[in-house]
Amino acid sequence: MYLLKEKSLNDSAHVELELKFLLNNSNKVIKNKQNELLYTIDTYIDISGNIDIFQRIVSYRIKEIENSQNQKNLKGNLYTILTSDEAKKNISENLLFGLPPLFRLIENCATKYFDNILECWANYECYKITSKASQTQNIHNSGYFALSNTCDEDDSYKYEIVNNIENDTRLFHTSFSNVALDLPSANLLINIETFIKQQHWYEMLYCLDVSLSSEHFVLYQEKNGELPLLLSTALIQRWNNQHKWLTFQPFFQTENWTIELSNEKLNTLNNCGMYKDNVNCLAQEKEIKNLDRKMLQSVKNKDLVCEIIRMAISGKNEKLNFTLFLTLKYLTIELSNIGLKIAYTIVEQPSILGFYRSVNSENCEISPYVSVCSQHVEGTKLKTYQGIVLTDVMSKIFKETNFRSYNKRIISMRKLERIGIHG
């Protein structure tokens, strides 16, 4: 829970004094000082109107590295770039010329208490969510919503597709706050905590509003009439919103992605009945942006297509794999039920990929999952894949799959890949 205080720093001079105090403070109780820093930054933004302070600092440091390396498109994501040795050296030695003086103080404090400006930015966004809710909601004990450690599918698990999450005022618990949040805010908090803070996809900080609106899948658990615990969410973007698709954003359209369309994958696209013409010509494409465009142009009915992103999983650590399984299962079944037959996905979790490869190995004519391209993002350990899930085929498999058989598939596939089969 982030500290909520009455605003007492009533001008920039007081904010500057507080920032200097925090910068020079040697107190070991870091968590309390983090909260004080977030409060001070929030106060400064209120006073100055500089709501884009984090964006401006990050942009300045990125531009600094681009100029020094004389290249426009740096390799890696924001996290790997701004935690590189060059970035650390620049931040420790170089001023933020042309920006307000307090920006530099805030950057130094962020580096001291959060390691880097990106982590501070993410924590500030969480602070805003919980602080706002604290003013209107009763704080509940974070351990109040007690759940069993069993991994069984039972009636306490509920799932649904919410068409316009921005209009949903239901309150939910989350694993990240002892404040009850409305569904859009709970969804945003889970997205920040999982994708941004845990997985370091700080690019999402530029488009947080996406988590507060549009169509989402939600999985939650209810018990004894208490407020439900939100376990997972995923954003569903239909074809009419394809201009917003992550698939088409610059990072996912660069030459760093390796196309991997085998004959087996092309056969699946030809046999699934959802493409206009023979798609074998796609094998000639060398650039992912051209391949994506031609693949989508070949779909007979664009209303069958969607993109699934921001699949955020939360809850107890010992149950995260079970929650992931339930999310994949129920999401796939629901997509098939509402007529979304082709789901574009971006996946890096080894367990998901292992399950997909396992079911593909048993479905020769139509593989339920087709990976289109991949990239080992610099500075990260995992390979990221762009691909499509054929939801009708995959949902039939999931309906016959429980958590035990799901895990069995993943373990078997790992063993096969270890000895060089299906690798």
Which pLDDT belongs to residue 279? 85
Q: Is 176 helix (H, G, I), strand (E, B) or coil?
A: coil
Contact status, residue 313 vs residue 232, Cβ threshold 8 Å? yes
Q: Six-digit token pair at 365?
A: 């004519």
Residue-level pLDDT at 416: 84
Q: What is the pLDDT of residues 218-237, one digit of tens each?
A: 999 998 878 999 999 999 99
- How many C-beta atoms surround the C-beta of residue 264 within 10 A? 12
Beta carbons of 234 and 161 less than 8 angstroms apart: no
For the segment 378-418, what is each residue's pLDDT rounded down to a tens digit?
767 789 999 999 999 999 999 999 999 999 999 999 988 77
The pLDDT tens digits of the residues spanning 111-149 come to 999 999 999 999 999 999 998 887 776 555 444 455 555
How large is the average pLDDT for residues 358-386?
Answer: 88
No. of helices (H) and no. of strands (E), the chain: 14, 10
Instruction: Name the percent of the chain lying above pLDDT 70.
Output: 92
CB 121 within 8 A of CB 105: no
- With bands split at pLDDT 50, 70 and 90, how would you rate the model's confidence at 3? very low
Q: What is the pLDDT of residues 88-100, one digit of tens each?
A: 999 999 999 999 9
Confidence of residue 39 (pLDDT cuts 50, 70, 90): very high
261-270 confidence digits (pLDDT tens): 999 999 999 9
Asked if the model's pLDDT at residue 5 lies above 80, the reply is no
pLDDT tens, 40-86? Answer: 999 999 999 999 999 999 999 999 999 988 777 777 789 999 999 99
Question: What is the set of domains in the chain, with CATH numbers?
Answer: 12-134 (no CATH), 157-418 (3.40.630.30)
Q: Using DSSP, state whether 91 is helix, strand or coil.
A: helix
Whether pLDDT at 249 is above 90: no
What pTM did the predictor assign?
0.88
Residue-averaged pLDDT of the chain? 89
Q: How many C-beta atoms surround the C-beta of residue 286 within 10 A?
A: 8
Rounded CA-CA distance 267/228 in Å is 44
pLDDT at residue 8, as a whole number:
60
- Written as one string, the DSSP assignment of 278-320 is --GGGGG--SHHHHHHHHHHTBS-GGGEEEEEEEEE-S-GGGH
Residue with token string 């959802």: 274
pLDDT, tens digit (0-9, with 9 covering 90-100), for 143-178: 445 555 567 777 889 999 999 999 999 999 999 998
User: In the structure encoding, which two tokens stand for residue 240, read together?
Assistant: 């009419």
For residue 109, give the amino acid letter: C
